[in-house]
């Protein structure tokens, strides 16, 4: 059990953590959908409540460097763990740099399992370093040749979300040149298929299995429009679908003489090279799950399959992986459970795993005393429904607060992130406004219950909707004069606001190193506990 605080017995009501996904604090308001939004509740909070800035990117969340943006996975890991762990990007980069990955059992089994067949790589094709990094792929292709493998095929999921929205050719063309250079009479490496990450393969939380089915048809069966090269495919698909950004481009197949060059067959090996788990689990299940029934696979080739990391430690998905994931221990949920604190977690499908699985240290099972409630997301483009399920999440949270059953509650409003990723400025302002409206209702219920709220974000997104010119700081423009949309996360800090009459005797301490991992100890203090010894320090201070 956590030790009881000797200086504060805890607030009488519940302690609630509200994550406004994608809500950063920009250096200026240029291109900020948050600044442009009408948000009276948030304006009031910043005017009247204690608030500070938290670091939510780079080394503060376990990424390799402070040039790396944060993301929802590592952000919720840090909040829930109360401490910083080296995350997927850093783990993989270190394993490649040291050569340890090539000696690992996972890679050795992939090489052996490939035999005389083809080694396939499937994953996000960019250097965004959120789900994957193209340099990791390049290193594996080079190692495959060094180990005497004869044939490699790559199934490239175009990004345009963690990198500029129409940057696909900046990755495809140099990589095709690299493959041409490394190929010779004894080694044949090519891109075999691809498509936009929001169109095929990379669904998460079972929101849209049709995406995964489309990916299976493209990568495994080789079904789809054929082109001579990936570069040609991207250019042609842009012409056929004007205005479509990379993440939404339809699938394509590379063919010769009318036949696909890289279907996945019995005796092949497959590496899904994303290190982040949420958008890797469903395609992994399609390759590995006995009795898989989410869609008709037509055929299920017998392959040696590996993930870059193990994406779900509880479900052991996948069974084979190249780099061990961080072993996250002593999470806030675990220790609140041990201390007899009833907990409640809620979000819509798009971020449900973040307030449950990632929050709990990459565990898919509940701790004792935890209640999880999922609000089903709509399967529509986010810019067409920017309010998403903010109202329904607020309804569920208000009911949970009023029930009196829970001492600690948490929720995620996905709007700022999911709509921010579309690059649609007006939709993003509406997304922020929807969260503001929901927040106003929820906070009133928390205050009435004698509780307090810690309002924060996991990373920025809606705070910068345009690419900024590095020299002028003003929005960069396309050739036609329109602003260049920014669809990636930002490097900006995020807020931490302390709300509630019950917290009247407390303030928040701004520290240079304050980050998301400080939230666990802060929440524990408000509940009347001392922090766990492994957690970062609390930011709570008495007025």
pLDDT in tens, 26-62: 988 889 999 999 999 999 999 999 999 999 999 999 9
Residue 65 has a pLDDT of 82
Residue 314 has a pLDDT of 63
Q: Give the whole-angstrom CA distance, residue 281 versus residue 134.
A: 20
The backbone region for 381, taken as left when phi is positive above 0, alpha when psi lies in -120 to 50, beta otherwise, is: beta
Residue 480 has a pLDDT of 84
Q: Is residue 449 over pLDDT 90?
A: yes
Residue spans of the domains in the chain: they are: 19-86+328-542, 89-307
Q: Is residue 154 over pLDDT 90?
A: yes
Q: Which CATH number fits domain 89-307: 3.30.457.10, 3.40.190.10, 3.90.1200.10, 3.40.1450.10?
A: 3.40.1450.10
Residue 265 has a pLDDT of 98
Question: What does the block give as tokens for 177?
Answer: 């040149």
Question: Minimal CA–CA distance to 433: which of 42, 21, 48?
Answer: 42
pLDDT in tens, 222-273: 999 999 999 999 999 999 999 999 999 999 999 999 999 999 999 999 999 9
**Among positive and negative, which fits the CA dihedral 256, 260, 266, 269?**
positive
- pTM to 2 decimals? 0.79
Lowest mean pLDDT among 31-45, 76-90, 367-381, 463-477: 463-477
Question: What does the block give as tokens for 404?
Answer: 């009196």
Architecture field, domain 19-86+328-542 = 3-Layer(aba) Sandwich (3.40)
Cβ contact 284:309 at 8 Å: no
Residue 475 has a pLDDT of 83
Strands 506-508 and 540-542: antiparallel
Q: Is residue 421 over pLDDT 70?
A: yes
Beta bridge partners of 507: 541
**In which band, very low, low, confident or very high, does the pLDDT at 311 lie, cut at 50, 70 and 90?**
confident
Which residues have a catalytic role annotated? 72
Residue 18 has a pLDDT of 98
Q: Is residue 351 over pLDDT 90?
A: yes
Average pLDDT, the chain: 95
Cβ contact 126:171 at 8 Å: yes
Residue 501 has a pLDDT of 96
Higher per-residue pLDDT: 483 or 374: 374
- How buried is 312 (Cβ within 10 angstroms: 0-12 exposed, 13-18 middle, 19+ buried)? buried
Domain 19-86+328-542 and domain 89-307 have a common topology: no
**In which band, very low, low, confident or very high, does the pLDDT at 204 lie, cut at 50, 70 and 90?**
confident
């Amino acid at each position: 059990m956590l030790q009881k605080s000797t200086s504060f017995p805890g607030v009488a009501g519940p302690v609630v953590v509200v994550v406004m996904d994608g809500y950063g604090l920009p250096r200026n308001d240029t291109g900020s959908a948050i600044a442009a939004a009408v948000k009276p509740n948030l304006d009031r909070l910043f005017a009247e409540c204690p608030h500070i800035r938290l670091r939510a990117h780079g080394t503060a969340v376990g990424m390799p460097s402070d040039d790396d943006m944060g993301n929802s996975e590592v952000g919720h890991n840090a909040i829930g763990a109360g401490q910083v762990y080296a995350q997927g990007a850093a783990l993989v980069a270190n394993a490649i740099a040291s050569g340890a990955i090539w000696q690992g059992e996972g890679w050795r089994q992939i090489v052996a399992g490939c035999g005389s067949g083809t080694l396939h790589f499937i994953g996000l094709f960019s250097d965004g370093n959120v789900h994957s990094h193209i340099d990791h792929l390049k290193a594996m292709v080079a190692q495959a040749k060094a180990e005497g493998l004869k044939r490699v095929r790559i199934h490239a999921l175009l990004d345009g979300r963690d990198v500029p929205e129409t940057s696909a050719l900046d990755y495809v063309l140099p990589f095709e040149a690299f493959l041409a250079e490394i190929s010779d009479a004894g080694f044949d490496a090519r891109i075999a298929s691809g498509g936009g990450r929001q169109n095929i393969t990379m669904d998460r939380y079972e929101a849209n299995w049709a995406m995964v089915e489309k990916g299976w048809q493209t990568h495994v069966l080789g079904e789809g429009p054929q082109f001579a090269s990936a570069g040609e495919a991207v250019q042609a698909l842009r012409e056929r679908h004007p205005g479509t950004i990379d993440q939404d481009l339809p699938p394509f197949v590379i063919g010769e003489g009318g036949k696909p060059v890289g279907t996945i067959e019995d005796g092949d090996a497959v590496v899904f090279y994303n290190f982040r788990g949420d958008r890797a689990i469903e395609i992994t299940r399609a390759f590995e799950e006995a009795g898989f029934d989410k869609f008709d696979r037509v055929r299920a080739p017998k392959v040696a399959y590996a993930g870059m990391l193990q994406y779900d430690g509880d479900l052991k998905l996948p069974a084979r992986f190249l780099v061990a994931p961080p072993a996250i221990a002593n999470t806030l949920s675990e220790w609140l459970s041990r201390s007899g604190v009833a907990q409640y977690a809620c979000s819509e499908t798009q971020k449900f795993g973040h307030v449950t699985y990632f929050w709990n240290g990459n565990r898919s099972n509940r701790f004792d005393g935890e209640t999880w409630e999922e609000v089903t997301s709509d399967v529509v483009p986010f810019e067409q429904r920017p309010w998403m399920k903010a109202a329904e999440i607020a309804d569920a949270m208000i009911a949970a607060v009023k029930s009196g059953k829970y001492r600690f509650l948490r929720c995620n409003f996905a709007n700022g992130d999911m709509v921010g990723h579309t690059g649609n400025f007006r939709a993003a302002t509406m997304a922020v406004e929807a969260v503001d409206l929901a927040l106003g209702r929820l906070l009133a219920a928390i205050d009435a219950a004698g509780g307090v709220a810690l309002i924060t974000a996991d990373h920025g997104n809606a705070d910068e909707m345009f690419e900024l010119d590095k020299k002028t700081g003003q929005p960069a423009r396309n050739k036609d004069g329109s602003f260049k949309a920014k669809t990636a996360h930002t490097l900006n800090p995020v807020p931490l606001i302390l709300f509630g009459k019950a917290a009247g005797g407390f303030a928040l301490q701004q520290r240079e190193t304050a980050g998301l991992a400080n939230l666990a100890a802060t929440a524990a203090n408000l509940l009347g506990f001392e922090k766990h010894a492994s957690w970062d320090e609390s930011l709570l201070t008495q007025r």
